[in-house]
Amino acid sequence: MNWLTLILSGVLEAVWATALGASNGLTVLGPTIVFLIALVISTIGLAIAMKTIPTATAYAVWTGIGASLTVVWAMLTGAEPFSLIRITLIVILIACIMGLKASEGASAQRTTATAVGDNVTGR
């Protein structure tokens, strides 16, 4: 459940980043309100996810999702140019995020095995 919360919080990071850009330095009311609401909810979601997901992993996933979705949205709306290299880099970024998720499980298994080994050897 915390991974779902983290992913949704990453999506909201893209929302607040896009709204911040549209707010013209927080001078346009609508985007400013969207920015503030999405920022608060996104950060709370990150905090909740970090109860069970290591800080470095959670933060990297959160910012990676937010950054990649922000770039994709900017390309889809024409605010940023579309290019094959950008798409390739976003795919690589997403692969790295998935790698962090996959490595978290392996790391937890090693930690448990080490703790069990320490109990057996009396360390």
- 20-49 pLDDT, tens per residue? 999 999 999 999 999 999 999 999 999 999
Q: What is the pLDDT of residue 102?
A: 86
Residues in the chain: 123
Q: From residue 64, how far is each of 11, 28, 57, 76, 88 by CA, in Å?
A: 10, 27, 10, 18, 14
What's the CA gap between 19 and 49, in Å, rounded?
Answer: 23
Segment 66-123, tens digit of pLDDT: 999 999 999 999 999 999 999 999 999 999 988 988 887 665 554 444 444 555 555 5
Backbone region of residue 26 per phi and psi (left: phi > 0; alpha: psi in -120 to 50; beta: other values): left
